[in-house]
Amino acid sequence: MTATVPPRSKASRTTAPTPADVIKKARDAGVQVVDVRFCDLPGTWQHFSIPARELSEDMFTEGLGFDGSSIRGFQAINESDMLLLPDPATAFVDPFLKVPTLAIVCDIKDPITGEDYSRDPRYVALKAERHLIKSGVATTSYWGPEAEFFIFNSVRFDAQGHEAYYHIDSEEGIWNSGNNSGPNLGHRPRNKEGYFPVPPVDRLQDLRSRIMLALEAAGIAVEVHHHEVATAGQTEIDMRFDTLVRMADKVMMYKYIVKNVCHEHGYTATFMPKPLYGDNGSGMHVHQSLWKDGENLFFNPRGYAGLSDLARFYIGGLIKHAPALLAFCAPTTNSYRRLVPGYEAPINLIYSKRNRSAIVRIPMYSKSPKTKRLEFRAPDPSANPYLAFAALLMAGLDGIKNRIEPPAPMDKDLYELEGHEKERVKSTPGSLGEVLDALEQDHDFLLKGDVFTPDLIETWISYKRDKEVKPMALRPHPYEFFLYYDV
């Protein structure tokens, strides 16, 4: 995230789109279908569609009904009726569908009480933004996630009572250097050497450019795209920073657009954190800063790395609550194939300038006050962005409120520490089960301002334990046959 342009003053900000603007946009684009979308609790877009003639201003206040009992983490069957209210600011013309279609993101309400739904992830993010303003600390937070992903040519997987396997293939994968099934032109990135040779080693330049152009066409500003470290098509495309809710909206759009551009061209994209053994996993480093009336509150030229006291306390909150935060920021069992001690993973609970071995890095590319920010490196793109960003903000605000001092910064390669220095650097937990336990014990900071609610946290923990942790623990792993079949 390169925050090179300061926020505009309130007077110069463009007016938020209205329902009438959305209707005009649909008419001008020749839209025939309106697709309404919302985010389930784990973080996947859901949708249904209506004829364009049904698009009216009343729809934005009266809403559209759906069955909440069929959505992961939502309602019981006896209270299933829910309402979707479209947000005019999110409307965009879908660049993939052959029938002209306007997509629009919705908030969720209870049709009986008219109240916002406590387990709607987008509502949590909206409440976090409101809480920030009410706190008096800042008026705006800016967010710049770097969501990495892999682009493969083929993937097969299955898990039955008598078998379990996965098979990934990529024309760019170094394992295909000896393939003799046809002409082999070589030129593949070796493990951990994908960052970033030019074509023909990088075979995905044009595909990434197509993704970038599709993102821009949908209204998402892109700053850079490039191959990432791993072989077999690991990729990063960075979006221009935005406010919390809008950035979370854009992450959902980003994942949708990435997957569909790849699908159109015969590839498959995955945001799974660790699909390959022996090479880098995919992270989602989250850049963040707080602003008040056009001033970056994280900047002080006299502080370490140009940080203000407020920024340091914010970091203190992130590090103190990191184990609980990871329940939302690295929320899959696969996340902990990436966050492993002894490897180049951002697990060290320390902050440092320029240093990618710390959980919090302070970028030092520019001396401009406008660019001062911190980067929290532990999250990955399996996270629900609404919940992850909201949780990070709440942890930072807790640090500011309670003046939490982080451990002293260390400007060393933390992977190479030994003896006493190594002992004083704590690390993140090593499994999804552990971070869920941490969230169960440490979540009061999330409840401030009613941003997160007990029922959401309880549902999240129960869902993750029952649907992910326990099923993984019950199944034999293919590698166990390699280790133990001859016992």
HEC profile for the chain? CCCCCCCCCHHHCCCCCCHHHHHHHHHHCCCCEEEEEEECCCCCEEEEEEEHHHCCCCHHHHCEEEEHHHCCCCCCHHHCEEEEEECHHHCEECCCCCCCEEEEEEEEECCCCCCECCCCHHHHHHHHHHHHHHHCCCCEEEEEEEEEEEEECEEEEEECCCCEEEEEECCCCHHHHHCCCCCCCCCCCCCCCCCCCCCCCCCCHHHHHHHHHHHHHCCCCEEEEEECCCCCCEEEEEECCEEHHHHHHHHHHHHHHHHHHHHHCCCEEECCCCCCCCCCCCCEEEEEEEEECCEECCECCCCHHHECHHHHHHHHHHHHCHHHHHHHHCCCCCHHHHCCCCCCCCCEEEEEECCCCEEEEECCCCCCHHHCCEEECCCCCCCCHHHHHHHHHHHHHHHHHCCCCCCCCCCCCHHHCCHHHHHHCCECCCCHHHHHHHHHHCCHHHHHHHCCCHHHHHHHHHHHHHHHHHHHHHCCCHHHHHHHCCC
In this structure, what are the phi and psi dihedrals at residue 141, rounded to the nearest 5 degrees? -115, 140
Please give the positions annotated as active site: 67, 146, 148, 228, 236, 285, 356, 375, 377
Q: What is the largest CA-CA distance in the chain?
A: 74
HEC profile for 35-90? EEEEECCCCCEEEEEEEHHHCCCCHHHHCEEEEHHHCCCCCCHHHCEEEEEECHHH
Q: Which two tokens stand for residue 95?
A: 């660049």
* CA-wise closest residue to 30 among 103, 104, 99: 99
The answer to whether the beta carbons of residues 300 and 415 sit under 8 Å apart is: no
C-alpha distances in Å from residue 412, one per residue of 307, 346, 418: 19, 14, 11
Instruction: Give the whole-angstrom CA distance, residue 122 versus residue 119.
Output: 9
